[in-house]
Amino acid sequence: MTYGTAISSKAEIVGTQRDKKKPVTGRNIVYLVNPISGTSKKDSLLKVIESISRQQKLQYEIIPTNASGNYDFLKEKIYSDHITDVIIIGGDGTVNQVIEALHSQPVNFGIIPFGSGNGLALAAGIPRKPRQAFELVLEGKASAVDAFKINGRFSCMLSGLGFDAQVAHDFAAKASRGLLTYTQQSLMNYFKAQPYQFEILLDDFSFFTDAFFISIANGNQFGNNVTIAPQASLQDGLLDVVIVQKMNKARLPFAILRQIRGNNQLQQLVDDMSQKNILYFQTPGLTIRNPKLAPLHVDGEPRDTAAELKIEVLPNCFRLIRPQA
């Protein structure tokens, strides 16, 4: 029997077209929808997904995400129902939780961006417009991308310590989400920002620095196409580390703008340390000592910080549906 359920409300995001008796051939998609992410409503997109999936006789199911990030029920379903694709409709926080839970399962991931920043989706070239992103999902071409671990926590986009993490903590405490709230929090934190002490340990080199923030990037950006790590690639087996060192606050926005526009060449780390305000290098892993306990964010979500953070890349960690070169 093939059965279908209309999508009713935010509280009850469900919809399915799956014949459990027929053997599954071809694609079998689970759409995971975050009911609270971003600011715009998802109802019309979900109706489009339902109607096109029915037209194309695709096997699919629409399920809401959960705040805890526990997707054990889906691991079982992937095997029992032969799920081939898990498509995330939400922002970076949802993308992080779902891919962390399921990256070792034999599925392709897709993203229909519905967050405030959408950093991984934009870094991967996935269209920002939900319907175009859905068309890409229908094409279904996936390739492997990297992720990384920061003290055992999974990150697939960009994590960091200091100023931008403080913004993430304050943003999380606000009732309203969206770019406007994020910008307000960034500005307020800019005027309060103080540098933190860090020690950076690489394989054969270590140094101390006082920095406003450190970003560890797999993708090239914070989100909203604000590119902090212009050389970053999602499949090079490397992390891009950007350290915004202590400087006169009047120079800080100009230095960051220069970095965002990508005018800084990949720099000779040792030569630059004393001369440049922003250090930028690539590495498969590093340790950061953080004695002043600068706040931490992981893929834009505030997380407990630590006095020492071990960071390592996970090459070719999961398969993501995205435009193919």
Ligand X SMILES: Nc1ncnc2c1ncn2[C@@H]1O[C@H](COP(=O)(O)OP(=O)(O)OP(=O)(O)O)[C@@H](O)[C@H]1O
Q: Which residues bind ligand X (CB under 6 A)?
A: 34-38, 64-67, 69, 90-94, 97, 115-118, 177, 223, 300-301
Shortest distance, position 114 Cβ to ligand X, whole Å: 7
Asked if 156 contacts 96 with a C-beta cutoff of 8 angstroms, the reply is: yes
Distance CA 94, CA 71 (A): 12
Q: Whose Cβ is closer to ligand X: residue 40's or residue 44's?
A: 40
Q: Whose Cβ is closer to ligand X: residue 18's or residue 297's?
A: 297
Q: Whose Cβ is closer to ligand X: residue 90's or residue 110's?
A: 90
Which residue in this structure is represented by tokens 């407990």?
304
Q: Whose Cβ is closer to ligand X: residue 227's or residue 282's?
A: 227
Shortest distance, position 212 Cβ to ligand X, whole Å: 21
Shortest distance, position 281 Cβ to ligand X, whole Å: 26
Q: Whose Cβ is closer to ligand X: residue 33's or residue 255's?
A: 33
Element (H, E) at 136: helix 130-139
Shortest distance, position 117 Cβ to ligand X, whole Å: 4
**Cα–Cα distances in Å, from 166 out to 27, 160, 161, 193, 249?**
42, 10, 8, 9, 17
Shortest distance, position 139 Cβ to ligand X, whole Å: 23
For every residue of 270-297, DSSP letters joined together read HHHTTT-SEEEEEESEEEEE-TT---EE
Q: What angle do CA 131, 137, 142 make, to 5 degrees?
A: 145
Distance CA 174, CA 182 (A): 9
Shortest distance, position 292 Cβ to ligand X, whole Å: 26
Q: Whose Cβ is closer to ligand X: residue 64's or residue 284's?
A: 64
Distance CA 92, CA 226 (A): 14
